[in-house]
Amino acid sequence: MPPQQDHGAFVIEGGQPVRGAVATAGSKNATLGVMAAALLVPEECRLTNVPRIADVDVMAGVLRSLGAKVEWDGEHELLIDAAGVNPSVPDRALAVSLRGSFAIMGALLARLGEASCPPPGGDVIGLRPVDVHLKGFAALGAQVMESEEWFELKASGLKGASIFNDYPSVLGTQNLMMAAATAEGVTTIVNAAAEPEVQGMAEMLRGMGAKVSGEGSSTVRIEGVKSLHGTEYAVIPDRLEAGTFAIAAAITGGEAEVRSARPDHLTSLIHKLREAGVSVETDGDTLRVKAAEKLKAVTIQALPYPGFATDLQAPMAVLLTQASGVSRVMERVFDNRLLYVDELLKMGATIDKQDNTTAIITGPTPLRGARVKALDVRAGAAVILAGLAATGETTITDIHHIDRGYERIDERLRSLGARIKRV
Ligand code: EPU
């Protein structure tokens, strides 16, 4: 792992309603994928609406270690010129610190006929195999070599194939779309992930001259083209950040406008918030959220898109600690993504973790300030939300996890009236 910078801690004085308007930043996970896609061409790509978050800096480091030029041009525009890319081996320490780094595999394989990456890291949320990626690469004609330290791919000319994903993996689907973009013939990816971040990858690839269709459904079709070119691409809004702001308003008795969002990417959250009694209205790219008089318990199941987003499971669970009755939270995407529950218990929540994937929340329970940890990026968002709703002072440590995925979250919450500071 690269040396971890000290990001300090967040101290929150809870009980202040979140009120006002906030603009959503670009999507972390969509950005990481399309940054890798820029490796497909020896020409410049311009990405706009890129969030200023730690994960983007690490991914930029990964691309630079491969020989790409990566430069900021203004606050949210990133220029990537991968003309100088070769060799195909990234800086190991940077690549292992980020799950998204594995997206370089599909792009490098297509461009250079070889690719390497260490087993990617990322959050501790359960097993995170890459078998879907590897099986797909092999189906396209790549030779796959695997040791404890590295995954390596080699191919002399990829051929379009019919690929069946055992699981609709988001990065797996993105990786295979990149690899297939210049393969000879047609590739179909069956049981593809439908997430907006996959749809974003399709748009980026089309901008580069690829022939991709079916994204957003369970079958993606790619007709291989001879060559691709540089493009300009605007990253989609971060649905997970928009959802976090919406829940911040709902849990503090507040009222907020979350702007520059894609409400159509948040259908599952909007339904569950309404079911819980929260008023959510959409108007173009804006979500208007008004807290419920009385929150009702609901059941949520985190599932692949368009199911309830696993990345909003922890934030939603915090809201449900304030709902009357018994709520069930089921995590069906990752096998260990309820670790944050222990942090919420320190703050007075009543949550019975039945196993690593099912939690029963009984509410409402008043939350009180405590010293808690941000265990990963979304568990970090969850303890911020709990701190905003709690009485007294909450100190959140390990906030480098939060800075991985949320741009200046403290400043932006302060602009909505929250009392949160970085110390
Ligand atoms: N899986 C397999 N085989 C594979 C790949 C995945 O079995 O080859 C399983 C995993 O074990 C897991 C499930 O499939 O149980 C989902 O994994 P997926 O591959 O879809 O997730 P990912 O692509 O590694 C991305 C996001 C995650 C987000 C998930 C699900 C990036 C960099 N990460 O991960 O984001 O939770 O999709 O939507 O795009 C986050 O932002 O906090 C985060 C963890």
Q: What is the pTM of this model?
A: 0.97
**pLDDT tens digits, residue range 258-305?**
999 999 999 999 999 999 999 999 999 999 999 999 999 999 999 999
Q: Percentage of the chain with pLDDT > 90?
A: 94
What is the number of H-type helices and E-type strands within the chain?
14, 23
Q: Which residues have CB under 8 Å from 187's CB, separation 6+?
A: 140, 160, 161, 162, 163, 176, 180, 221, 222, 224
- What are the start-end ranges of the H helices in 130-169? 131-139
Q: Which atom of ligand 1 is nearest to the CA of 195?
A: 38
* Nearest Cα residue to atom 19 of ligand 1: 169
Tally Cβ neighbours within 10 Å of residue 294: 11
**pLDDT tens digits, residue range 209-229?**
999 999 999 999 999 999 999
Range 150-170 average pLDDT? 97
* pLDDT grade for 120, boundaries at 50, 70 and 90: confident
With a cut of 90, say whether residue 380 has pLDDT above it: yes
* pLDDT grade for 3, boundaries at 50, 70 and 90: very low
**pLDDT tens digits, residue range 16-59?**
999 999 999 999 999 999 999 999 999 999 999 999 999 999 99
Per-residue pLDDT, 122: 62
DSSP string, 302-350: E-STTSB-GGGHHHHHHHHTTSBEEEEEEE-SSSS--TTHHHHHHTT-E
Per-residue pLDDT, 128: 80
* pLDDT grade for 126, boundaries at 50, 70 and 90: low
Per-residue pLDDT, 123: 65
With a cut of 70, say whether residue 309 has pLDDT above it: yes
- From the CA of 74, how far away is ligand 1's center (Å)? 31
With a cut of 70, say whether residue 1 has pLDDT above it: no
Of 88, 61, 52, nearest in space to 2 by CA: 61
The whole-angstrom distance between residue 332's C-alpha and the CA centroid of its chain comes to 16
CA 151 to CA 116: how far, in whole Å?
6
The active-site residue out of 55, 81, 123, 376 is: 123
CA 23 to CA 226: how far, in whole Å?
40
- From the CA of 400, how far away is ligand 1's center (Å)? 20
* pLDDT grade for 2, boundaries at 50, 70 and 90: very low
Q: Annotated catalytic, 123?
A: yes
CA distances from 226 to 86, 184, 217, 223, 229 (A): 20, 8, 26, 10, 11
CA distances from 310 to 15, 151, 336, 379, 395 (A): 27, 27, 11, 11, 25
Range 173-178 average pLDDT? 98
- From the CA of 29, how far away is ligand 1's center (Å)? 10
Chain-wide mean pLDDT for the chain? 96
- From the CA of 169, how far away is ligand 1's center (Å)? 6
CA 206 to CA 184: how far, in whole Å?
17
- 295: its two tokens: 């929150």
Per-residue pLDDT, 278: 98
Q: Percentage of the chain with pLDDT > 70?
A: 98
Range 124-145 average pLDDT? 91
Maximum distance among all Cα pairs of the chain, rounded to whole angstroms: 63
Residues with CB under 6 A from ligand 1: 28-29, 32, 99-100, 123, 126-133, 167, 169-172, 193, 195, 197, 310-311, 333-334, 377-378, 405
